[in-house]
Amino acid sequence: MMLSVTPHTPPSHNSPMLPPDTVPFIRHTSGADYRTGDLKLGRTAVLTDLGRYLRVPFDCLVKCVGAMPSQQDLQQIRNNLTKCKILTDDKSGLRWTDFTPPATSKVSEENAFKPLGRIIAEILAEVPKSGVSFLANPNVSPLSQRN
């Protein structure tokens, strides 16, 4: 009687597992709550994952963003945004023309936030020396410009 032996690769003894560069932690955005489609649970998961990055000291923010425009410049920016129909000033108050808050919108969260790209681009066009840029590409991870 012959026994059949299945060929296999012997385990390597020369490949030690290296420790990871960063300590792994459980991401709340990988959990079931985030994937249910419930916007409130999803928002909570994202904010929990952001953790300490939610707070930036004001003086650090001012250094990054730069000086605020004067009141006259702010009024001019507001007028220009109203003229190009990005901003609406009517009896309900000042609001972004194409943006409906997701809580009151009947569309998906992705479609509800889509108009913000155009709104932000128009604001940045009004303040050309802001040193801020914006690119909406939800399918690609952001790259650091420091590398």
CA–CA separation, 46 vs 27, rounded Å?
9
HSE, side-chain direction, 13 A CA sphere, residue 87: 17
Give, as one character, the DSSP assignment of residue 127: S
Tens of pLDDT along the chain (147 residues)? 555 666 666 666 665 666 556 666 778 888 887 788 787 888 888 888 877 565 667 777 677 766 677 888 888 988 999 999 999 988 888 888 888 888 888 888 788 888 888 888 888 888 766 666 666 666 666 555 554
Residue whose C-alpha is closest to residue 109's, from 77, 138, 80, 68: 138
CA–CA separation, 135 vs 132, rounded Å?
10
